[in-house]
Structure 1
Amino acid sequence: MLVSIIGGAGRMGSWFAKYFLNRGYDVAIFDVRADRAEHVARSIGARVYRSSVEAAGEADILLIATPIDVTPKVICEVARWMRRNSILIEISSLKSKVMPVLRGVSKMDIRALSIHPLFGSGAQGMAGEKIALIPVNDPASEEELARRVFPEANIITVDLDTHDRVMALTLSLTHFVNIIFASIVGEEDVRLLKHLGGTTFSLQLIVSEAVMSEDPSLYASIQMTNEHTVGYIDKFLSFALELRDIIESRDVEGFIHFYRKVLEAISKDEDFGAAYGRMYRALKAI
């Protein structure tokens, strides 16, 4: 069975190329960065296509791993070249713009899967990793197909609106906070901070530096394509300014009240009680 990957020279595209190769599939990649595609293909043992049309026309499974903002256009360009009953998988981290296109594709006797890998290209394998499945038409049959293609993954089915709203919190806001944290720390003597910083700072620095090592174009798309992003950033800034005013006014009772209100809300998480110990174990593992 042939898997073609458009965007196969990118981090996630090449990750999936290696994944399918390891599972015994024949894999070919296409990328507009032709030299990069040649290099990736040689390094992993895949073939290279010279055009997206060629990649689409021969594939049993066509995986689209292009930037969020161009994914709908790419699908529109290649879908008409795909064979009947072939599988189209797109992996973008936001779904509102691509979903109407996928619903159109599904009417062309093409099985469309919209997934969001909830892990990065540093993952060592698929076992135990989470994949969000956002149904295009038929949740049951699409989940069955996803489990067949990714049998080791933990498939989580979620509707489009919930997915994109949650991503504004778990991706957009998280990235925003870490970029701002890194911008402040970067103005200081980082070596000194690492010498004197405790466990909380050390873990926060690792996360922020990991965020800053990613592709800024991808992160810009995640921030700017999601209609829920600005609302959560505004909420973050509102809480931050409220706490700042409490601190500036030396209002101890106000601080404790703010803290306890947040604690009451966050402690509803069933894993809350183990969080402190897990933080130390995580740092020790690193």
Structure 2
Amino acid sequence: MDLDQLRTELGDVDRQLISLVARRQALAAEVGRIKRAAGVPTRDYGQERNVVQRVRDHAEEQGVSPDLAEALVLLLIRSSLTVQERDRVAARAAGTGQRVLIIGGSGNIGRWFARFLGSQGYAIELADPVPPPDELTDCAYLADYRDTPLDHDIIVVAAPMPATNQILHELARRRPSGLVFDVGSLKSPLRTGLAALVEAGVAVTSVHPMFGPDTELLSGRHVVFVDVGVPDAVARAKALFAPTMAVQVELDLDSHDRLIAYVLGLSHALNIAFFTALAESGEAAPRLAQMSSTTFDAQLDVAARVARENPSLYFEIQHLNDYGTESLAALLYAVERLRSVVRAGDLDGFTALMERGRAYLSSRRTEVP
């Protein structure tokens, strides 16, 4: 066959692949329906391992790279799980007849909660000086939450952190009857507002979804619930995520921010330091790209994503955390230790750093399908 014929045949194969993917998605949706009816969890890691191994074995028989086959099937599994989780959330319909007010609803995480709670049947009302995007035109909208009687079943505060504490104090003065929770990345700056709500007798808790607003599948994602002294409010907030596969974690306020200083603060600082060192090195990015390595490319990819994030939010995570300087001091100390063993030509000291890191990282419990 000539080149045009080969390309035509490749196009036919591509269309067949897409048709097979569509068929697989339909079968996965039916599997999800049967699981819901039987009360079986959506995700079965043992079954996923079996599927992956079968695909790898078959790929080897066909002369196809097992790694390529595994990557493809894991992508399909993830897509199927996303469909099953979305269907499970919708089928639960826990919010039917109930109303949710999302303060800051036009922001990224506010829009995520609008979609998530809307899929459960809640009637969504957005309060934000900025009108919502077209994707949320079916939600009720007002510019100022203070223009409502606050008689909603749930109030979600998704405003920037400096404004959130003020909003929490205002809510405490008005004492809404529904569940109230914020979704801030830090809780230290919200301490007084949360305490005021508790004092006012409001059903309040604090939630931290540990994922970005573009997240669809919650399997393997963590949602942190901070108990500020109203256990029933924690239980009600956790119930919102019950139909998903998210990992639910309960923490007190101080433990949350101490851990976030490392989980977010340290990782952000490390990447900011990395791209700052590169930017100030005098080495042009295209030239460095010609000398790339696997490790450098992976780190550069993460650093590039960090560089595109909101500087104000990232500054707040560093500056407003009561425990923020702790992780920065640890980073400085670690860099200085590395610098000292390198300058001293201390192979044993360098090896000890590597071995300690290897032991720590291998001890982390991971769950791989």
Q: TM-score, normalised by structure 1?
A: 0.83
Q: What is the CA distance between 1:62 and its match in structure 2?
A: 0.9
Q: Quick check: 1:158 aligned with 2:213?
A: no
**Residue identity matched to 2:294:** T
Q: Residues of 2 paired with 1:253 and 1:109: CA distance?
A: 59
Q: What percentage of aligned pairs have identical amino acids?
A: 28
Match among 205, 208, 211 for residue 113 of structure 1: 205
Question: What residue ranges of structure 2 are gaps of 5+ in the alignment?
Answer: 1-97
Equivalence for 2:108: 11
Q: Distance in 1 between matches of 2:267 and 2:166?
A: 28
2: CA distance between counterparts of 1:92 and 1:67? 8
Q: Which sections of structure 1, spanning at least 5 residues, go unmatched?
A: 279-286
1:257, 1:149 → 2: CA distance? 46
Q: How far does residue 128 in structure 1 lie from its aligned partner after superposition?
A: 4.8
SS in 2 for 1:69: helix
SS in 1 for 2:161: coil
Give yes or no for the alignment of 1:207 onto 2:302. Answer: yes
Alpha-carbon separation, structure 2, partners of 1:128 and 1:174: 19
Does the 8 Å CA contact 2:194/2:228 hold for their aligned counterparts?
yes
The residue aligned with 1:175 is: 268
Per the alignment, in what secondary structure is the counterpart of residue 162 of structure 2? coil
CA distance in structure 1 between the aligned counterparts of 2:365 and 2:198, rounded to whole angstroms: 39
Query: Amino acid of the residue matched to residue 91 of structure 1?
Result: V
Q: Could you tell me how far 1:208 is from its partner in structure 2?
A: 1.1
Aligned partner of 1:222 among 294, 297, 317: 317
| Structure 1 position 224, deviation (Å) | 0.4
Q: Which has the larger radius of gyration?
A: 2
User: Cα gap change, 1:62/1:205 in structure 2, threshold over 3 Å: closer, same or farther?
Assistant: same
Specify the alignment match of 2:352 in structure 1: 257
Measured against aligned partners, the alpha-carbon deviations of 1:46-65 in whole angstroms (never above 9, x if no partner) come to 22113121356242211101
Q: Secondary structure at the match of 1:5?
A: strand
Residue pair 2:208, 2:223 contacting (<8 A) in 1 also: yes
Structure 2 vs 1, CA of residues 249 and 56 (structure 1 numbering), >3 Å: closer, same or farther?
Answer: farther
Q: Within 5 Å, which residues of 2 pair with 1:57-96?
A: 57-84=150-177, 86-96=178-188
TM-score by length of 2: 0.66
**Greater mean alpha carbon deviation, residues 65-74 or residues 106-115:** 106-115
CA displacement at 1:220 relative to structure 2: 0.7
128 and 23 in structure 1: CA distance in 2 versus 1, 3 angstrom threshold: farther
Would the alpha carbon gap of residues 247 and 227 (structure 1) be closer, same or farther in structure 2, given more than 3 Å must change?
same
- Quick one: which amino acid aligns to residue 265 of structure 2? S
Q: Distance in 2 between matches of 1:266 and 1:125?
A: 25
Q: Is the 8 A contact 2:175 2:197 kept in 1?
A: no
Aligned equivalents of 1:12, 1:55: Cα separation in 2: 22
1:232 and 2:318 correspond: no
1:127 deviation in Å?
5.0
Q: 8 Å contact 1:19–1:125 — kept in the other structure?
A: no
* Distance in 2 of aligned mates of 1:247 and 1:185: 20
- CA distance in 1 between counterparts of 2:289 and 2:321 reads 34
Shift of 1:39: 4.1
Partners of 2:324 and 2:341 in 1: how far apart?
26
Secondary structure class of the residue paired with 1:72? helix
SS in structure 2 at match of 1:239: helix
* 3-state SS, counterpart of residue 38 of structure 1: coil
* 1:148 maps onto 2:239 in alignment: yes
Amino acid at match of 1:62: I
Question: Residues 52 and 78 of structure 1 are in contact (CA less than 8 Å); yes or no, is this contact kept in structure 2?
Answer: no
Q: Secondary structure at the match of 1:98?
A: helix
Distance 1:266 1:127 in 2: 22
- Secondary structure of the corresponding residue to residue 229 of structure 2: coil
Q: Return the offset for 1:244.
A: 1.0
Cα RMSD over matched residues? 2.4
CA distance in 1, matches of 2:324, 2:169: 27
